Structures are given as C-alpha cells and as structure tokens.
C-alpha cells in the first residue's frame, strides 16, 4: 500500500530515469484507468518530454514540456515499472506476487514507450489507481485539498499543535490518516507513529497531553524519514540496485503483527477496527 515513503521512493527512482525522456507512443489497455479518454490521452502525450517527477501527498506528478501534467494515484496496488526493454531498472508501489513476471502482463494497463526504446508501465492488480492529464490550473485545484506535507520544514511542532487544537474530537489514529489534515500518512505508518509515541490509537485528541502531542509530532517525522531511508515497506530488495537491505518491513513494530509479542514490552499486539480500518497496537505500552 503505497503511502508517502513509498511514493517518495518511486518519485526519486523515476526521476533518475525519466528526466527529458520523450514519449513516442502510449498504449492504454484499460480505458477506465486514464482521463481523458484514451484517444485524447494519447494525443496529449505523444511527443511530449517528461521534465520532472514530483510528489504531493500520495500523488505522483509528471511535469511535461508542453505545460501539462500527468497526475497519478497508485491507490492500493498500482505500480510504476521502468524498463530499458531488457530488464526492469525501477519498480515502485505495492508488491504483487508474481505480478511483475513476463512484462507487460495481465496487470499492465498503460504502456509509455519512449523515443530511446525504454518503457514505463503502469501495473495495477485491483484497478483502483488512475492517471489523468491536467493543466496547471487544474493541478493546483487538485492539490489544495491536501493538508501540509509532514516532512517539509514548514510542518513544525507548532503547526501540528495548532492542527490538534483545531480538531479536538477525532480519535488520533483516524485523524492521522486524513489527507486534508496531513498529507501522505496511511494505515501502516499511522499505526507505527502511535506506537512510537506510546499512544493508544483510539485516544481522543483533546485528551492528549502536551508531551504526547510532542511525541506524536516527533513520531511523524521519525517514522516517515526512516521509512524513506529504507525505501518504504513494499521495497523489493531484489530490484534494489544498490543492494541495500530489504526495505522497512522488518522495522514495523505493530502493523501486521497482531498476536505477536511487543518489541518494547511484554505485551501482545492487538488488532482492532477504527473508522473501519485495521488498527494495530500494544495495549500494554500504548496508553
């Protein structure tokens, strides 16, 4: 499930390969994935150069030479795969078991072919993700819906404190994943941030002490930065060109560990449902 760290990792990888690549052809195999409709989509992209890849929240933004942008959301199972025609050089997003064999395959919905013969594939098992072409104005309109970027210097402890002050009623975990409040935190990292701060994810915000609010703030910065450093939870060690140890998965303290021993105390990790989402925490050291 790509959250901020995974999307940031893909962004960095794609920037290494896609800058100044010229789009030669675009093949859309599943029409509902793209906007506008495939013929228009193709027409707007062919002969365009990709100038830069950016990220806002969990969105990837490809800036094109003609002033347009490709805006894309991977949702739960979208992947961006860059290949030189021989082998995969970059791959990011949710890992799919055998989902990247024999590319392109049944999960490949969009194929960009570049002038130099390399390709960018959009793969998506569940077909919830999308790619759309927008102009500058539409892009701005789409992006203002999101809260601050938690890793930007502008996101200070004071800004976070004011945000909590303005939203006293929600429970902390469901609040952390609200994109219009803070951009980019999803289900996995919200649980990890609560664990870091030793706070029960069901705590109502107005009951949090000053110290707990500070710890949450530090947790947001620390957990997200660590996850980026490890190339995200779904990082594939096989494909990692620099041979780094495999991703953030081994560092998860609570997510997906229900019934297992807490790594900090003698507690057993519990799984509950909050706002309809699986939530993992240690009842003993998260109060």
Partner DNA sequence: TTGGTTGTTCGTTC
Partner DNA sequence: TGAACGAACAACCA
Residues that bind DNA (CB under 7 A): 1, 3, 57-58, 73, 75-76, 97, 125-128, 169-170, 174, 177, 179, 186-188, 271, 273, 275-278
According to DSSP, the residues that pair with 39 across neighbouring strands are none
Supply angle C-alpha 246, 189, 224, rounded to 5: 70
Quick one: DSSP state of residue 104? S
According to DSSP, the residues that pair with 174 across neighbouring strands are none
Concerning whether 58 is annotated as a catalytic residue, the answer is yes
In sequence order, which ranges of the chain are alpha helices (DSSP H)?
Answer: 4-18, 38-45, 136-143, 157-166, 172-176, 187-196, 210-229
Please tell me which residue in 35, 171, 181, 277 is annotated as part of the active site.
Answer: 277
Concerning whether 51 is annotated as a catalytic residue, the answer is no
Strands annotated E in the chain: 21-28, 34-35, 49-56, 59-64, 69-73, 78-83, 88-93, 108-114, 119-124, 130-134, 270-274, 277-281
As measured in angstroms, the least distance from the Cβ of 58 to DNA is 4
Concerning whether 283 is annotated as a catalytic residue, the answer is no
As measured in angstroms, the least distance from the Cβ of 211 to DNA is 23
Concerning whether 24 is annotated as a catalytic residue, the answer is no
As measured in angstroms, the least distance from the Cβ of 76 to DNA is 4
Q: Which is nearer to DNA, 10 or 23 (CB)?
A: 10
As measured in angstroms, the least distance from the Cβ of 246 to DNA is 19
Please tell me which residue in 11, 21, 56, 58 is annotated as part of the active site.
Answer: 58
Please tell me which residue in 3, 6, 192, 212 is annotated as part of the active site.
Answer: 3
Catalytic residues: 2-3, 58, 277
């Amino acid at each position: 499930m790509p959250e901020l760290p995974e999307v940031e990792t893909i962004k960095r990888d794609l920037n290494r390969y896609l800058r100044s690549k010229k789009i030669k052809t675009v093949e859309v195999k599943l029409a509902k994935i793209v906007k506008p409709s495939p013929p228009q989509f193709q027409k707007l992209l062919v002969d365009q150069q990709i100038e830069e890849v950016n990220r806002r929240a969990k969105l990837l933004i490809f800036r094109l030479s003609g002033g347009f942008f490709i805006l894309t959301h991977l949702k739960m199972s979208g992947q961006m795969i860059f290949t030189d025609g021989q082998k995969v050089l970059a791959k990011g997003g949710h890992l799919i078991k055998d989902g990247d064999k024999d590319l392109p395959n049944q999960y490949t919905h969009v194929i960009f072919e570049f002038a130099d013969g390399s390709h960018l594939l959009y793969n998506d098992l569940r077909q919830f993700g999308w790619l759309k072409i927008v102009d500058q104005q539409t892009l701005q309109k789409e992006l203002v819906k999101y809260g601050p970027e938690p890793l930007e210097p502008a996101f200070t402890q004071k800004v976070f404190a004011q945000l909590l002050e303005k939203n006293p009623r929600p429970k902390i975990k469901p609040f952390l994943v609200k994109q219009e409040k803070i951009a980019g935190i999803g289900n996995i990292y919200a649980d990890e941030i609560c664990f870091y701060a030793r706070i029960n994810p069901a705590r109502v915000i107005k009951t949090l002490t000053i110290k707990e609010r500070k710890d949450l703030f530090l947790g947001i910065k620390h957990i997200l930065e660590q996850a980026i450093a490890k190339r995200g939870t779904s990082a594939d060690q096989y494909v990692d060109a620099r041979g780094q140890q495999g991703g953030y998965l081994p560092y998860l303290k609570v997510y997906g560990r229900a019934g297992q021993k807490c790594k900090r105390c003698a507690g057993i990790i519990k799984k509950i449902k909050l706002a309809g989402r699986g939530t993992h925490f240690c009842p003993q050291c998260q109060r």
